[in-house]
Amino acid sequence: MDPLRARYPRYFAYEDLLSAAERVVSGYRRTVDGGTPVEFTHSHRDASLPEETVRVTVDGEHLDLTVDAWIGQLDSAEPYVLAWVSARVHLAGARLTTSRGRPDPYWKDALREANPGRR
């Protein structure tokens, strides 16, 4: 284990949660045009959130990821966020975004499934 991670586990847990949420949300935004808006913020940016919290928002629903809840299972955070977001976004009628870099393969497949017959 990295000696810094061992010495500052909460700091790195927060950073890992932030990265997990950011990967899911940025992959969605980079790939989907016209789907349900997905946002995320964190306690360093939004003082109204509890300390060491990352929040993902879809259609008014919030998922709060806290260091206390996730510190022992950080490898599961990104798949959990992806499943949570996937269950709440509406992709019917949405299109593949072509102007924001390389599309995320998961969201590209989800768009195809939600819009059969569309190229």
From first to last of its 119 residues, the chain has per-residue pLDDT tens of: 689 989 999 999 999 999 999 999 999 999 999 999 999 999 999 999 999 999 999 999 999 999 999 999 999 999 999 999 999 999 999 999 987 788 999 999 999 999 998 65
Distance, in Å, from the CA atom of 55 to the CA atom of 16, rounded to the nearest integer, reads 13
pLDDT at position 30 is: 94
pLDDT at position 119 is: 59
Distance, in Å, from the CA atom of 42 to the CA atom of 45, rounded to the nearest integer, reads 5
Return the structure tokens found at 9. 């586990």
Distance, in Å, from the CA atom of 54 to the CA atom of 46, rounded to the nearest integer, reads 10
Which sequence spans correspond to the domains of the chain? 3-113
Distance, in Å, from the CA atom of 1 to the CA atom of 5, rounded to the nearest integer, reads 7
pLDDT at position 53 is: 98
Among residues 67, 114, 54, 115, the alpha carbon closest in space to that of 86 is found at 114
Among residues 26, 6, 8, 16, the alpha carbon closest in space to that of 66 is found at 16
Look up residue 98 and give its amino acid.
T
Return the structure tokens found at 53. 């919290």
pLDDT at position 92 is: 95
